Chain A
Amino acid sequence: MKKLVLTGLLFLSISCQDDPFYDGDFFYLVNKDAQMPVSVRGNTSSGIFIIFLHGGPGGTALQKIGLPAFNDLEQSYAMVFWDQRGSGSSQGNSSDKNLTLEQFVEDLDKLVDLIRNKYNSPAIFLMGHSWGGCVGTAYLTHNARQAKVRGWIEVDGAHNNPKADSLSLQWVTERAASQIAIGNNTAFWSYVLDWYSENPNFTSDQIEHYTFVEKANGYIYDAALKRDPEKFPDYSFDYIFRSPANVTAALTNYNHVIKNFIISDIDLSTEMKNITLPSLIVWGEYDGIIPYPMAQHAFESIGTTKAAKRLLTLHHSAHNGFYEEPEIFAAGVRAFIEEFK
């Protein structure tokens, strides 16, 4: 019995640490009662680090480890996956008073300083997806902070939420109307239109809107992708049972943050002219939550000269291009970094 138990413990211990989730460096950033995990993977000797800023607020970066697009980029560069305060597998007892954009920016600044300190001042590129696009944009509008970074990659970012919400409303209602016109799930899509009529002051903080966008394939353009465990491993066995992530904690954190952090009034359009470093805007043409016109808005609002701005449109993607078109996504990011590293 004793041998059996010891063998089982040994097997579990070994099998966990052979998992790709356990590659690379791992440490924590501690700030104001938040204990935030940081996983650094890939080619650290390249001297080029991409800090991935996850969405939400309340999402998780650790869940993105192992995605084909990021595995590809890790061949050339180091990828930094950081779970923000109160998000993902972050621990501690972070106060709700610190659920502010300013606090998230301060945390990011400390992460940048920590990476610079630990890895001998590498070239840092920020990659902000969705809510992470808001954090990254706000971070870079300050000159001293911008000086620590080599380039900015905004992926379907939330830099102007009132405008994005308005466009998202239009996007969903147009799709609802087209579904009704072809007689597809008419009852549901009629309910969607009624809901928006009854909620004329809707904002994206209302969870119903997310559900409608999801149903209209506004997050993942090709719904079949979610059934491909290679491209969409979000809730794979390994992630749930063997990764460093704590799935119940990630869901608890998400539910808490989404209820206690209102972001629908954030508009950084004016300050974006302060961003002058090389920038790549990556957007899915079928994004339903931050629709494609926001890509052009970002491109024009950023103060970087046209010579150092790039726009990559993903023609078969919605909100999550790094899942949906990983090869094109990784190739576009690599080309940008090679040009401006």
Chain B
Amino acid sequence: MCCFASAAQNDTSVVHYAGFSYFSEGGFYPGFAFNYERTLLANKTFEMTAAARAGSYFHYRNHTGVFIMIQSGQRIRLYKNLFYEHYLGIGYLHTFLNGGDAYYVDAAGQVHKASNGGNPHFMPSVSFGLSYNVDVLKYPLRVFARPMIFWQIPFNRSELVQYGFEIGTNVRLK
């Protein structure tokens, strides 16, 4: 990794990307994310990247998640425009009950609707996957697919490990 970083310092031009992705929790529960990525160091075979994401997903009759996260990642060229990449992230996840009203019952047995203010969670994450650099209508794009593991802390006095999948595209900003 040190040699990658050393080589990368040959080109320190900062490049910005922004885009959109389909983000699913648990494989099939749909969502989306807006992405911003900034290439910090790069050469022909390696890049170091910082990223920020904001998104949401919907697990019907379970919860809606809204998150923001920052990530640090690396991209390694596998073949021509194909890259392997991995990211470590930390973030904030807020989950709201989904699919039905919430009720509480007071000591006298009277039923009341409860507010759905949601639950706050710390959200570390690890993602890895493949991306492909391609030019579309002269715009340099990155198309990527990344499985993700993220944590939902706390969750019933424990730590919940969730899995997700992200597929999307980022476009280079001028």
Contacts and interface: CB of A to CB of B under 8 A. Distances in A.
Contacts of B158: 252-253, 255-256
Nearest to A38: B100
Nearest to A15: B28
Nearest to B158: A256
B122 to A, nearest CB: 12
Given A8-B22, A90-B156, A93-B156, A242 B102 contact: no
Contacts of B28: 12, 16, 241-242
Nearest to A99: B157
Contacts of B102: 27-30, 35
Interface stretch (B10-18, B59-67, B80-88): B59-67
A21 to B, nearest CB: 8
Interface stretch (A110-118, A227-235, A311-319): A110-118
B109 A1 contact: no
Contact of A114 (B29, B105, B155, B163): B105
A246 B61 contact: no
Contacts of A38: 100
A25 interface: yes
A30 B102 CA distance: 6
Interface in B106-146: 109, 111, 114, 119
A13 interface: yes
A65 B30 CA distance: 23
Interface residues of B, number: 35
Given A93-B155, A113-B111, A241-B26, A246 B59 contact: yes
Nearest to B152: A249
A92 B119 contact: yes
Nearest to B157: A96
Contact of A35 (B97, B105, B160): B97
Contacts of B111: 113-114, 117-118
Interface string B39-83: 000000000000000000001111100000000000000000000
Contacts of A90: 156
A191 B103 CA distance: 50
Interface string A234-264: 0000000110111111001101100000000
25 contacts: A16-B28, A27-B102, A28-B97, A28-B100, A28-B102, A28-B103, A29-B103, A34-B156, A35-B102, A91-B95, A91-B97, A91-B155, A91-B156, A92-B156, A93-B119, A93-B155, A110-B104, A114-B105, A117-B111, A244-B60, A244-B61, A245-B62, A248-B163, A249-B155, A252-B161
Interface of A: 1, 5, 8-9, 12-13, 16-17, 21-22, 25-31, 34-35, 37-39, 86, 89-96, 110, 113-114, 117-118, 241-242, 244-249, 252-253, 255-256
Interface of B: 22, 26-30, 59-63, 95, 97, 99-105, 109, 111, 114, 119, 154-163, 169
